[in-house]
Chain A
């Protein structure tokens, strides 16, 4: 990895992080998703096919990792970009790369959470600038506090540490570290990756389940897939689910109209 490539990857770590200059819709929920990140890292480092395979691996595990209410679990942007870039530096085949991707994603994700918490604390000072602007009846200071201030802190905390990690990785890369990684570690990390998907699903469930009957609805989707996995795909289940949701809406809406008249 050249310095230029490292700078580019670090730049995307920042853009994909929560609250970057391009907004969460284009950044965190898009550039920060492992599948998208893998494609970008693949383009930068010139190995899209392997990067995408690793991206699928991470995306599966982190599918449910959304950040509701600012409760930061894991900096997905850091984890994805550093994880995949690190794996691509150290390995050229999928079998070796999949061990590395978990190691580097772990390092990246942990540092990313620390940086997020730091920015969450440092940004408090910006409130003083904004309050002063309000005292002076100067709306321009809102821009100064929110965008200029917030993004300076955000950029420094994302870009700089990411670049340092990436340059360190690239300096140690090329050595035959892969030979020293024992198979039990790769085996264990692969199992860990498969189990990690439960974290995201469990968190998503906690947002959707509000009554007991919701467990039954969840089980319906689960059983469909678990018993008929040979015949059915997740997409087919999504279509079935949309039909059921639509029928439910129509029926209940109809009942309401009958009961309450046209409100």
Chain B
């Protein structure tokens, strides 16, 4: 009779991952301890009768691991499927180790770009729009987000975990080879990019408080901000955003350093505003 992980243990594994994946993040093994704890019920089912095998299995999963944890719930799912196959003598330890390492990159990239960088800003934008326009019912915005995001993500993570377990390594590699994953990622990137473009135009603001006034009456002759916006609306916010992109993405500046730069720029612009009498 082949060894199998019980339904109950799979449920327990998923819930452990969902709630406690980030409990003990650190520089040495990142999510390693959380991963081992997630695998513990499955390991108990498969190797419970052998101390040596249990110890080896726990060590296998205490190694360095990282992913975007919500979409990345597929990783412990795949690991459960692999451990099950290993217990039945179908795959080797090395396969499990190398598959786990191979999963880190793509699952992080997909999770970050589709869930964290696209869904969260969109949902928050909806929530903000509700708060802004609902007047005395403004609390509806955060309340809707507080329900929609965790509940939606719970179902997504659960789906990903089960998908990983059911399809196992073969299913996942077939899926990746078919190019469908790239296509889904690309489509979601298009959605994300357009929305981020719109958000940049509506929420980033960079003033240009420079004007020329007539000497006697103090009438404003030329206001450079309106002039600039007449030629290309929101040009300065666009430039600032692209500069941040370049500094963070290409030059590898830390966000703290970029924040410092923005603070200096803001101080300069405020100064300009007072010199030219805009403020």
Listed in ascending order, the chain A residues whose CB lies under 8 Å from chain B are: 18-26, 28-31, 33, 35-36, 38-39, 42, 48-49, 52, 55-56, 59-60, 63-64, 66, 68-71, 73-74, 113, 119-124, 126-127, 130-131, 133-137, 139, 142-143, 145-147, 149-151, 154, 184, 187-189, 191-192, 194-199, 201-210, 214, 217-227, 229, 233-235, 237-238, 240-242, 244-246, 248-249, 252-253, 256, 263
Q: State how many angstroms separate the Cβ of B32 from the closest Cβ of chain A.
A: 7
Q: State how many angstroms separate the Cβ of A260 from the closest Cβ of chain B.
A: 9
Q: State how many angstroms separate the Cβ of A132 from the closest Cβ of chain B.
A: 11
Interface size class of B (residues with CB under 8 A): 35 or more
Are A59 and B190 CB-contacts (below 8 A) given A49-B138, A130-B33, A134-B59? no
Q: State how many angstroms separate the Cβ of A56 from the closest Cβ of chain B.
A: 6
B240 touches A198 (CB 8 A): yes
Closest residue of B by beta carbon distance from A74:
B255
B22 touches A23 (CB 8 A): yes
Task: Enumerate chain A residues within 8 angstroms of B40, measured Cβ to Cβ.
Answer: 139, 142-143
Sampled A-B contacts (12; CB under 8 Å): A22-B19, A25-B153, A30-B146, A60-B128, A63-B125, A133-B58, A139-B54, A189-B266, A199-B262, A201-B200, A202-B247, A224-B194
Task: Enumerate chain B residues within 8 angstroms of A226, measured Cβ to Cβ.
Answer: 201, 233-234, 238
Closest residue of B by beta carbon distance from A144:
B37
Task: Enumerate chain B residues within 8 angstroms of A36, measured Cβ to Cβ.
Answer: 142, 145-146
Docked complex Cα distance between A22 and B25 (Å): 15
- How many A-B pairs have beta carbons closer than 8 Å: the answer is 382
Docked complex Cα distance between A131 and B60 (Å): 11
Of all A-B residue pairs in the complex, the 8 with the closest CB atoms, nearest first, are A221-B197, A202-B244, A150-B24, A206-B249, A73-B255, A19-B22, A194-B205, A225-B201
Within 8 A of A (CB), among B24-60: 24-30, 32-34, 36-37, 40-41, 43-44, 51-52, 54-55, 58-59
Does B226 count as interface, using CB distance less than 8 angstroms? no
Contact of B243 (CB < 8 Å), options: A189, A202, A209: A202
Contact of A198 (CB < 8 Å), options: B20, B186, B262: B262
Docked complex Cα distance between A191 and B264 (Å): 11
Listed in ascending order, the chain B residues whose CB lies under 8 Å from chain A are: 18-30, 32-34, 36-37, 40-41, 43-44, 51-52, 54-55, 58-59, 62, 66, 68-70, 108, 112-113, 116-118, 120-122, 124-129, 131-132, 136, 138-139, 141-143, 145-146, 149-150, 153-154, 157, 178-180, 183-184, 186-207, 233-234, 237-238, 240-245, 247-249, 254-256, 258-259, 262-263, 265-267, 269-270, 273-274, 279
Contact of B200 (CB < 8 Å), options: A154, A222, A253: A222
Task: Enumerate chain B residues within 8 angstroms of A195, measured Cβ to Cβ.
Answer: 204-206, 240, 262, 265-266
Contact of B195 (CB < 8 Å), options: A21, A29, A221: A221
Task: Enumerate chain B residues within 8 angstroms of A192, measured Cβ to Cβ.
Answer: 262-263, 266
Most-contacted residue by chain B among A19, A124, A143, A208 (CB, 10 A): A208
B55 touches A134 (CB 8 A): yes
Task: Enumerate chain B residues within 8 angstroms of A221, measured Cβ to Cβ.
Answer: 193-201
Are A21 and B198 CB-contacts (below 8 A) given A68-B116, A145-B33? no
Docked complex Cα distance between A62 and B104 (Å): 27
